[in-house]
Structure 1
């Protein structure tokens, strides 16, 4: 189910009218350990019907490996809220998560700059 792009949930001047804490059900911590570079990918399983449209959109984004940071940018939600949504999807088996293979040092300045550049291109 796609995220509404018009109607009562979106205002041209204000943007998204649903607050991030509502999207996460008021939760502030994910149940799965995820960082910005964690790669997530869909398993092909359908998430439970009671999950919201943001969950469905996140699964749609995870058709190929994608980082948590990229998912957050596409969803236009804070990273913490995105981590909670992704954690829900990991818990129900709709996606899997794994650390990136190609980087040995996740605090490497080159890597952090590459992630920042990628996020800037998306916004």
Structure 2
């Protein structure tokens, strides 16, 4: 993961000079479904539309699978704003998003079965 770069819109005394809601043009809801553990990764295709500097910073962080929470921490934006920026990048084809663990349910398998297997494994180790 690339190191966070110095922000030109940050003043040590005043704080962030550009308010977070201006980054996403006042939008508060992403067009794609994300949670904090959603993994995003760059597709290698550049955005079809001209996007802002925050979009470019987020896109640079997406070289490998990285979580929404991790991206938000690196760009120092609230998670909801980061989700809106990421949804813009998904919409233009620059990144893909997926759940961190695909849920594969086989016949007869349930979350309870999994939890009981974990509990059994922990008991045998202790």
Counterpart for residue 7 of structure 2: 5
Tell me if the contact between 1:47 and 1:56 (Cα under 8 Å) persists in the aligned partners.
no
1:103-122 equivalences under 5 Å are none
Unaligned runs of 5+ in 2: 105-110, 112-126
Output one character per residue of 1:36-71: Cα deviation in whole Å (capped at 9) or x when no partner.
Answer: 000000000112452111100111000000000000
1-structure distance, mates of 2:6, 2:18: 11
- TM-score, with length taken from structure 2: 0.73
CA distance in 2, matches of 1:23, 1:64: 24
The answer as to 2:72 corresponding to 1:72 is: yes
Which one has a bigger Cα radius of gyration?
2
Runs of 4+ displaced beyond 3 Å? 102-105
Say whether 1:51 aligns with 2:37. Answer: no
Q: Does structure 2 conserve the Cα–Cα contact (< 8 Å) formed by 1:20 and 1:81?
A: yes
Root-mean-square deviation over aligned CA pairs:
2.2
Consecutive unaligned residues of structure 1, counting only runs of 5 or more, are 106-123
TM-score by length of 1: 0.75
